[in-house]
Amino acid sequence: MADMKKEVDETLDELTDYVKKQRWWNRVFGKNNSRPLADKYTVGTQIAIGGVTGWCAGFLFQKVGKLAASAVGGGFLLLQIANHTGYISVDWKRVERDVNKAKKQLKLNVDKPSREVKTKVQEVQIFVQNNIILMGGFAGGFLIGLAS
């Protein structure tokens, strides 16, 4: 009995040393990310990881979105004031010509997405399919983060 307890203690010590040497992201996500998280963690852990990361992403998205909207709106307002008071003048024909050229380029690129885009989309689809519980937690956390 004492020998078995000593063996278990030694094994736990070795395991503890191994875990301490690992980086935290390797402990959470593992070195080989091709294996789905469902094989590594319980459902509750997956939902918790997804929910916390989703909340953080949603909260940051909300704050950065407000900042970006304020910057773009403020810049547009300043440009309109400068245009109205005569400090700047806008060549609207040139703007229209450039916008039409950009539209044509976008239409050409939308018809046939590049191979890299297709590959990345497939990788994301496979990841979501393999980790659906984590993605559900992330989506919920993201919405809560947006609301907070």
Query: What CA–CA distance (Å, rounded) separates 71 from 68?
Result: 5
**Rounded to the nearest 5 degrees, what angle is found at the Cα of 121, between the Cα atoms of 119 and 144?**
150
Write the single-letter amino acid at 10.
E
Higher-pLDDT residue of 148 and 62 is 62
- Alpha carbon dihedral 120, 122, 123, 124, in 10-degree steps, equals 90
Query: What CA–CA distance (Å, rounded) separates 63 from 22?
Result: 33
Res 47: pLDDT: 87
Label residue 31 by pLDDT band (50, 70, 90): low
Per residue in 72-129, pLDDT tens?
999 989 988 998 898 888 888 999 999 999 888 877 666 676 777 788 888 888 888 8
Question: Would you say residue 30 has pLDDT above 60?
Answer: no
The mean pLDDT of the chain is 81
pTM of the model: 0.54
Higher-pLDDT residue of 87 and 30 is 87
Sign of CA dihedral 80, 82, 84, 88: negative
